[in-house]
Amino acid sequence: MCLERLARCSAQHRGYAVAAAATTLVLLVLLRVLAIDSVAWTTPVVNGGRDWHLSGMSQDNEALANEIALQVKGESEQPYQLQRPHLVDFSQNGQSCFVADLFKGKNSKRTFLEAGGYNGEDLSNSLYLERELGWSGLLVEPDPWNFWSLTKRNRKARALNACLSPSTSASKLTLKQSDTMSRLQRAEEVGTKGIFTQVQCYPLYSVMKAANLTQLNYLALDVEGLEMKVLQTLPWDAVNITVVQVEASHLDGEQSNRNLQRKRNNSRGHAPSTTDSKESQPSASTASTQNANVQLSQAPESTSCPTPVKSSLPNMASMTSGQRELVYFMRQKEYELLALIGEDFIFKKRPYAEY
């Protein structure tokens, strides 16, 4: 009798324990869902928050560049760990091949800085140059999750988990995260639902100094609408950049977000969304292409890069006001608009002389 009663008690206690564990799990899930749906999370996780004291430091301050240099992750010595290693050019529309062609496919110590490195593989404008041509450089990615994924690719480039500041001093901005894209928070998004992360942003010039890249062959900027502000912070007489590639499709409001979402979905082989398929108005870059003379630029003969690359030279009348402002600004800095490839403007320095 005693043993039978003991067995019944033991079974009863096990049942209580299982029920309690299940209840706890359900409550945790509910709390997680309610938190995401009702409040905007702000989680300062970049570099463990140790660099917040840098905010406000000017790009002229050498101490800022020194601090950034300490945060730069070195090149991986391990084999590449790519999701699609069979690909040659990972850029969306052959931008990498076009840029390589400008340098005639040579392997001699070319350098790049790609801001908006994403996960280091999808849509990468620099991976082909690095893996096939031996270029070296720096990847800048603000999203902590994307940066973690980037480091797992074992890129042979240095990497920095930060964003580029829209001013000449270091600052803190807020990043809105999702599964396929992240962007710096806009004013109209304050108080909206989602997961937000505070990130440290550094002036581009300070980043270039920290990485010893003030003499640079190729700068690729995709910083979600801040491209113009970032370029305006540069002391152009203190740097030498041969080719500048700028994401040109960013518009104010949700259209910019849809453009980025569509671009990243396409890179993963996703079908266009119903919302996208119903859009009757072409994007700014599409309109530019439709009003331009389309050219087929041959990729360098010394590489296995796919050919040809479809590029165009848009006319000013077909550009948005922001795109025209960018072109005028770059002209003042002695750069000419060479091509529109996909949604990217590619400029080269005049006269075209390599250092």
Domains defined for the chain, CATH in brackets: 40-250+262-272+283-349 (3.40.50.150)
Pairwise CA distance, residues 203 & 208, whole Å: 9
Measured at the CA of 15, the angle between CA 14 and CA 20, to 5 degrees, comes to 100
Is the pTM for the entire model greater than 0.85? no
Please give the structure tokens belonging to residue 140: 């800048």
Of 91, 162, 171, the residue nearest 123 (C-alpha): 91
Q: How far is CA 224 from the centre of its chain?
A: 8
Pairing of strands 111-115, 136-140: parallel
299 exposure class (CB count in 10 Å sphere: 0-12, 13-18, 19+): buried
72 exposure class (CB count in 10 Å sphere: 0-12, 13-18, 19+): middle
The CA-atom distances, in angstroms, between 236 and each of 111, 204, 220, 230, 248 are 18, 11, 16, 12, 21
Residue type, 83: Q
Among all chains, which residue has been given the structure tokens 């569509």?
Answer: 262
Of 123, 203, 126, the residue nearest 158 (C-alpha): 126
DSSP state of 181: -
Q: Residues with Cβ < 8 Å from 222, sequence gap 6 or more?
A: 115, 116, 247, 344
So what's the pLDDT on residue 225? 85
DSSP notation for 208-268? HHHTT-SEEEEEEE--TT-HHHHHHTS-GGG-EEEEEEEE----STHHHHHHHHHHHHHHT
pLDDT tens, per residue, the chain with 355 residues: 555 554 555 556 566 666 666 776 666 655 554 443 333 333 334 454 556 688 899 999 999 999 999 999 999 999 999 999 999 999 999 999 999 999 985 556 899 999 998 999 999 999 999 999 999 999 999 999 999 999 999 999 999 999 999 999 999 988 877 654 555 554 345 556 678 888 999 999 999 999 999 999 999 999 988 999 999 999 999 999 999 999 988 744 344 444 444 554 554 454 433 333 333 334 444 444 444 444 544 444 445 566 567 888 888 998 999 999 999 999 999 999 999 999 999 999 998 555 4
